[in-house]
Amino acid sequence: MAPLAIALSLAELAPRLMRYFGAGEQSTVVAEKVIEVAKQVTGEPTGEAALAAIQGNPERAHQWRMAALAADTEIERTYLDDRRDARARDVALAQAGFRNRRADWMVAIDAVGLVACLAVLALFRKEIPAEVVTLLSTIASLFGVCLRDAHQFEFGSSRGSREKDVILGGAAKPPS
């Protein structure tokens, strides 16, 4: 069984972990970490064996959930490394006198796509089938999420994000 499939099966038992799985290399890194924690909890040598041990035993499933919560800070750090590196790249570009035109174009295209979808929905809603309205609404939502992510990248996401930064910063310090 592929590592990502094993990790997703394990994450079904600890749903909080599902937020880490998306497209890209980071999902693979997170999957490997999830499998490693499961192998530690069960003492099994492979991901498949750990998954079987957890699925077949309610006590082990509970131990897995507790271990997943304990490992959450480290997994969160792994997940956030990609964004931190991208921000550092943007800062380095700005300091060198360059603009990140690719990001500017992405935001502009997201804004145009959102406005276009909303315009079509507003102007032609009665003439187009319900399935197309649903599809356009979904596409508009995706463009909106992309714009939200761009704002979160530029300005930080929330008070909760700042608290998470403080927690992760504290976790990175060696104990006194």
Tokens of 49: 């064996």
Asked if residue 169 has pLDDT above 50, the reply is yes
Q: Give ∠ CA 69-142-80 in degrees, rounded to 5.
A: 35
User: Residue with structure tokens 């714009």?
Assistant: 147
Which residues lie below 8 Å from residue 110, measured CB to CB, with a gap of 6+? 143, 146, 147, 150
The reported pLDDT for the residue numbered 23 is 46
138, 113 Cβ separation under 8 angstroms? no
Query: What pTM value is reported for the model?
Result: 0.47
Secondary structure (3-state) at 104: helix
Q: How far is CA 146 from the centre of its chain?
A: 13
Q: At what angle do helices 47-55 and 25-42 cross, to 10 degrees?
A: 60
Residue with the larger pLDDT of the pair 150 and 1 = 150
Report the pLDDT averaged over residues 46-66.
Answer: 89
| Measured distance CA(161)–CA(173) in Å, rounded | 19
Asked if residue 64 has pLDDT above 70, the reply is yes
Report the pLDDT averaged over residues 66-73.
Answer: 81
